[in-house]
């Protein structure tokens, strides 16, 4: 018998695999995939809530899905993510806001299950992004020149203080160790911006532009900015 947790996992895995494939081939993920996954997860969570006789599971999925959406939008407006990344993160928030019995953690932790999902998501995303970016940077030495110029003395001070404070707080509550990823992502973003600047821009014809392509400069007709 397929449990709700296994069904949610199967749908999320298959849907995100298709999304990754289309993103790799076409550089875009159709909305019917991402929105379809969100709707499917909402239906599953509603069904699970009815099965358990407690609508808390459905309301929690809406709340955590909204939280993940907001977090994704921060990365989107920082020009670090595309729209598909935001929507797929929302899928995870909606689908796994609370733990299914199938996925009960082997080790006891003091934070909610959705935080574990978020940590795993960022860990996998960081590993993939780092490997891909390193591969690109090896073909363009300007990446490292820009990175060296971007890292300031204040950045290094921030790193030292962050590690010290987070480690100290971790003695009182293990949850604070989660925030050790903050300084790591701070420097990772600087590296990725350098890769983006030196490796990711290219000239394409207007008819080949896809949703969420970002022009290097504003496109104007007269004085009016159209993109």
Same domain, 11 and 109: yes
Domain that holds residue 175: 131-202
Provide the pLDDT confidence category of residue 10 given band limits of 50, 70 and 90. confident
Q: Which phi and psi (to 5°) does residue 58 adopt?
A: -75, -45
Per-residue tokens: 50: 């009815």
Number of residues assigned to the chain? 227
Alpha-helix residue ranges (DSSP H) falling in the chain: 4-26, 31-52, 56-77, 83-95, 113-137, 142-150, 153-170, 181-199
Phi first, then psi, for residue 11 (nearest 5°) are: -65, -45
- 219 in a domain, yes or no? no
Q: Is the pLDDT of residue 211 over 80?
A: no
99-147 pLDDT, tens per residue?
777 666 666 666 777 787 888 888 887 787 788 788 888 888 788 788 7
Higher pLDDT, 48 or 201: 48
Same domain, 14 and 113: yes
CA distances from 197 to 122, 128, 146, 190 (A): 22, 19, 9, 11
**Shared domain check, 89 and 8:** yes
Quick one: tokens of 111? 């934070």
Q: What is d(CA 205, CA 191) in angstroms, rounded to the nearest whole number?
A: 28
Residue after which a domain boundary falls, among 89, 110, 125: 125
Query: Quick one: 9 and 101 in the same domain?
Result: yes
Q: Which residue has the tokens 């300031």?
A: 152
167, part of any domain: yes
* pTM of model > 0.75: no
Q: What is the mean pLDDT of the chain?
A: 78
- Write out the H or E segment, with its range, that includes residue 225: strand 224-225
In a domain, residue 217? The reply is: no
The tens digit of pLDDT for each residue in 30-40 reads 778 888 889 99
The SS3 of residue 35 is helix
- Claim to verify: residue 86 and residue 195 sit in the same structural domain: no
31 shares its domain with 137: no
Do 116 and 142 belong to one domain? no
Q: Final residue of a domain: which of 76, 98, 125?
A: 125
- Residues 104, 146, single domain; the answer is no
Same domain, 12 and 113: yes
The C-alpha atoms of residue 129 and residue 112 are separated, in whole angstroms, by 26
Position 174 scores a pLDDT of: 63
């Amino acid at each position: 018998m397929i449990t709700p947790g296994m069904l949610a996992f199967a749908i999320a895995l298959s849907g995100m695999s298709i999304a990754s494939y289309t993103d790799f081939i076409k550089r875009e993920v159709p909305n019917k995939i991402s929105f379809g996954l969100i709707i499917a997860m909402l239906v599953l969570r509603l069904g699970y809530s009815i099965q358990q006789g407690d609508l808390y599971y459905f309301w929690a999925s809406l709340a955590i899905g909204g939280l993940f959406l907001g977090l994704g939008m921060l990365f989107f407006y920082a020009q670090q993510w595309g729209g598909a990344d935001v929507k797929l993160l929302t899928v995870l928030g909606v689908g796994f806001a609370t733990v299914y019995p199938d996925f009960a953690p082997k080790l006891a932790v003091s934070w909610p299950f959705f935080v574990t999902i978020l940590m795993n998501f960022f860990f996998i995303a960081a590993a993939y992004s780092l490997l891909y970016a390193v591969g690109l940077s090896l073909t363009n030495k300007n990446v490292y020149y820009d990175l060296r110029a971007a890292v300031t003395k204040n950045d290094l001070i921030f790193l030292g203080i962050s590690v010290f404070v987070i480690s100290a707080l971790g003695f009182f509550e293990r949850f604070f160790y989660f925030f050790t990823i903050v300084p790591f992502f701070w420097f990772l973003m600087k590296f990725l911006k350098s890769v983006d600047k030196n490796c990711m821009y290219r000239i394409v014809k207007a008819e080949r532009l896809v949703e969420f392509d970002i022009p290097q400069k504003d496109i104007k007709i007269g004085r009016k900015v159209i993109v």
